[in-house]
């Protein structure tokens, strides 16, 4: 959790540029800024702070040309979890999803299966009980994926 622009600058030296500043309580395009130039980091950090006061803030390396893929799942109090489906939420405007497509076709079948398995493992390991959406960034060039977040709903409101 970064509290000051100075802490963000120190963290940026490790993360590297370009990067994203994100408030963990953000969403819908709020509390997120792309920074390509270190000279703009402090201003962008303060903008994120102002949008979501009190939210923990972190930095992450920008993943250019990545797709935003989601696994929807159900988990119960007995430690069981299943993947229901998935969707590609890569069409965005100002970091806000504007179209979601399913089934996911961007990832090869074996990679998509591993993404579903990883989402189910996550739910089981943390004792998750609910419907949920596990979000990933997926790089088509390398078939690599990285965890973004677990939302405690199917996100049908988008």
The whole-number pLDDT of residue 158 equals 47
pLDDT per residue, tens digit, the chain (158 aa), is 899 999 999 999 999 999 999 998 887 778 999 999 999 999 999 999 999 999 999 998 888 888 999 999 999 999 999 999 999 888 776 666 777 788 999 999 999 999 999 999 999 999 999 999 999 999 999 999 999 888 887 765 54
The whole-number pLDDT of residue 94 equals 65
| 3-class DSSP assignment, residue 110 | helix
Query: Is 93 an active-site residue?
Result: no
Of the residues 3, 117, 121, 153, which is catalytic?
153
Residue 15 host element (H or E): helix 5-15
- Cα–Cα distance measured from residue 19 to residue 32, given in angstroms and rounded to the nearest whole number: 10
- Cα–Cα distance measured from residue 116 to residue 122, given in angstroms and rounded to the nearest whole number: 10
> Bridge partners of 57?
23
pTM of the model: 0.77
The whole-number pLDDT of residue 33 equals 93
The whole-number pLDDT of residue 102 equals 86
């Amino acid at each position: 959790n970064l509290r000051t622009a100075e802490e963000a600058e120190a963290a940026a030296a490790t993360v590297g540029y370009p990067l994203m500043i994100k408030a963990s309580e953000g969403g819908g395009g709020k509390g997120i800024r792309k920074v390509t130039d270190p000279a703009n980091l402090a201003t962008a950090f303060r903008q994120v702070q102002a949008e979501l006061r009190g939210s923990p803030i972190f930095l992450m390396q920008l993943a250019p040309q990545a797709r935003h893929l989601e696994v929807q799942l159900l988990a119960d109090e007995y430690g069981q979890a299943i993947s229901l489906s998935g969707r590609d939420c890569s069409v965005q405007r100002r970091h806000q999803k504007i179209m979601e497509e399913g089934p996911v076709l961007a990832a090869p079948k074996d990679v998509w299966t591993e993404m579903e398995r990883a989402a189910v493992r996550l739910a089981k390991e943390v004792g998750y009980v609910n419907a949920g959406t596990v979000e990933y960034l997926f790089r088509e060039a390398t078939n690599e994926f990285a965890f973004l977040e677990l939302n405690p709903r199917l996100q049908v409101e988008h």
